[in-house]
């Protein structure tokens, strides 16, 4: 199981939010490319980038920082990017720049036709990010709840040909309150495509809890605040994940 460090970008800096609130951002680095190098050196095998300004604006806003990260990473590991990706031209530009996987969130829910077109045009490169609370999907930077059931939507998107689902429990993201393992497993069991867990990883115990259910279809977990604040040793956690799965 992969542990995937999150590099959340706001105004060109690496930050973390609590429950998606932009005003409450904590700046962890003013050099995101340097941060990407740090996580690779710690053993990361994939990076998760989020253009936070882009997510709120509906179009990419941190392209210089993203390009600097991609230049630093080269072809060492895959990089996935979400935030403000709303059209096919943007997806094509991201992939041309060196992004391996493009994450579509709000646009997938609001405009399923766009997602279908994206999967057709760029097979193998599209991941859907579903943010949910109490089983219902949220959109627009988590500011609006929809009536959509997360499992029903995920199944529909699986049929479109998406590569995987990133599932975030928005009640827990950035709060260091533990992963919602039960909800993540329930989603993974309903799908054939892999699920990446996101939101709430606080300690090595959360990593162990996810490893215990990895064979249900959970291929990885995104981690942010815990590794930045030193509550979780990334290198140790990835070693633990490798050990669990190997065992």
Q: Which of 8, 51, 169, 173 is catalytic?
A: 8
From residue 226, give the alpha-carbon distance in Å to each of 35, 120, 146, 160: 15, 37, 29, 34
Could you list the beta-strand ranges (E) of the chain.
2-10, 13-18, 21-29, 47-51, 79-82, 101-104, 126-133, 136-139, 144-149, 164-169, 195-198, 218-223
Q: Which of 51, 96, 117, 131 is catalytic?
A: 131
Active site residue 8: yes
User: Is residue 167 within 8 Å of 184, Cβ to Cβ?
Assistant: yes
Residue 229's region, left for phi above 0, alpha for psi from -120 to 50, else beta, is alpha
User: Is residue 71 within 8 Å of 14, Cβ to Cβ?
Assistant: no
What tokens were used for 112?
């399923």
Active site residue 131: yes
Known catalytic residues? 8, 131
């Amino acid at each position: 199981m992969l542990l995937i460090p999150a590099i959340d970008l706001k105004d060109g800096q690496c930050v973390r939010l609590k429950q998606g609130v932009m005003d409450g951002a904590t700046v962890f680095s003013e050099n995101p490319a340097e941060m990407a190098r740090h996580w690779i050196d710690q053993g990361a095998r994939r990076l998760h980038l989020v253009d936070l300004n882009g997510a709120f604006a509906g179009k990419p806003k941190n392209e210089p920082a993203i390009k600097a990260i991609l230049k630093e990473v080269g072809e060492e590991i895959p990089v996935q990017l979400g935030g403000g990706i709303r059209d096919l031209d943007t997806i094509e530009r991201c992939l041309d720049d060196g992004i391996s996987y493009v994450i579509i969130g709000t646009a997938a829910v609001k405009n399923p036709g766009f997602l279908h077109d994206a999967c057709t045009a760029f097979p193998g490169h599209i991941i859907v990010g579903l943010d949910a609370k109490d089983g219902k999907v949220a959109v627009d930077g988590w500011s609006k709840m929809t009536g959509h059931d997360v499992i029903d939507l995920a199944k529909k998107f699986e049929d479109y040909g998406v590569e995987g689902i990133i599932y975030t429990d928005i009640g827990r993201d950035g709060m260091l309150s533990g992963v919602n393992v039960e909800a993540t497993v329930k989603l993974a069991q309903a799908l054939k495509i892999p699920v990446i867990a996101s939101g709430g990883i606080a300690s090595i115990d959360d990593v162990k809890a996810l490893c215990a259910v990895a064979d249900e279809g959970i291929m990885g977990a995104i981690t942010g605040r815990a590794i930045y604040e030193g509550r979780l040793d990334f290198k140790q956690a990835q070693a633990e994940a490798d050990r669990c799965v190997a065992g």
